[in-house]
Amino acid sequence: MRAIPVLHVGDSRAASSFYCGKLGFSEKFAYRFDDKQSDPCYMGLIREDVVLHFSSFSGDAVSGGAVFIVVENVDELYEEFRGTGVDVQLPPTDQSWGNREMYVEDPDGNSLRFVHFGK
């Protein structure tokens, strides 16, 4: 089984620019009723094994969601994001429950929580 979260965005092109330009994702697909208009749009972005879907269609999710993304090295990713100008809300932090986590917020207020599970 596999789950693919759907995050709501207000502007699909701005979301694509943030996720692809700053977080290293690439666009797998984008569906628009009218190719002359940016929105509404339903798109899929991918980075390695992480697949996220985004929708600017009314009724598809609400902004402000949260997604945990499991990574091997939070600190390495932090350095990468610093190099692309990402505003990191929580830098790599050892949590009391054993995980090492870093939080990033997208322009729509969705929280991406990069986590390395403790042993």
Match domain 6-116 to its CATH number in 3.30.70.360, 3.10.180.10, 3.40.50.150, 3.60.21.10. 3.10.180.10
What pTM value is reported for the model? 0.93
Q: What is the block-wise mean pLDDT of the chain (119 residues), using blocks of 10 residues?
A: 94 97 98 93 97 95 94 97 97 96 97 91
Contact 51, 74 (CB under 8 A): no
For residue 19, give the H/E element and its range: helix 12-21
